[in-house]
Amino acid sequence: MSIPAHDPSRGRWIPWIFVGGMLVVVVVNGVLIFQALSTFTGVSVGQAYDRGRTYNHILAEAARQDALGWTLNTRLEGGRVIVNARDRGGAPIQGVLEGHMLRPLDGERVALPETVATGRFTLELPELRAGLWELRGLLTSASGERHDLRQRFTLP
């Protein structure tokens, strides 16, 4: 019985398998790192950490407004926004409504004229592009109480 002679060229490709495998790992990790750094960060609000720390103040303000018992009904009618404001007992609220229209998509902001009224506040809208807009207003009563108003509208 004869023993075959050892051929040293038969195993030369084995180290290249390890090199090729490591090269695949490095390339895949490079692609994943690039995607992680160049795509959406996950933060949808500027200064999210600071806003999160003050969230208890937001809750306290919401509770203060709820304690007022005011009812604000907002509707879009033609080129106007009409806000009906009533107190806890159903009496109209006398005060000043000031605010602006904000387009959430691109941050465009259009100031609205200040309106003084009792119970029914009418805001004349300037010429606005079609799409989603948000009314952000502050109603201040004659006695100095304040109520924040936010209402979204889709303009034709």
Contact by Cβ (8 Å): 136, 120: no
The candidate with the shortest Cα–Cα distance to 101, out of 60, 63, 155, is 155
- Residue ranges of the chain with per-residue pLDDT less than 50: none
- The whole-angstrom separation of Cα 137 and Cα 145 is 14
What would the pLDDT profile of 31-64 be if each residue is shown by its tens digit? 999 999 888 877 677 777 888 888 899 899 999 9
Residue 1: its pLDDT value, please? Answer: 56
Q: How many CB atoms lie within 10 A of CB 6?
A: 7
The residue extents of the domains of the chain are 10-38, 70-155
Residue 6: its pLDDT value, please? Answer: 66
Token couple for 5? 């002679």
Residue 14: its pLDDT value, please? Answer: 87
For the structural domain made of 70-155, what CATH number should be given? 2.60.40.1940
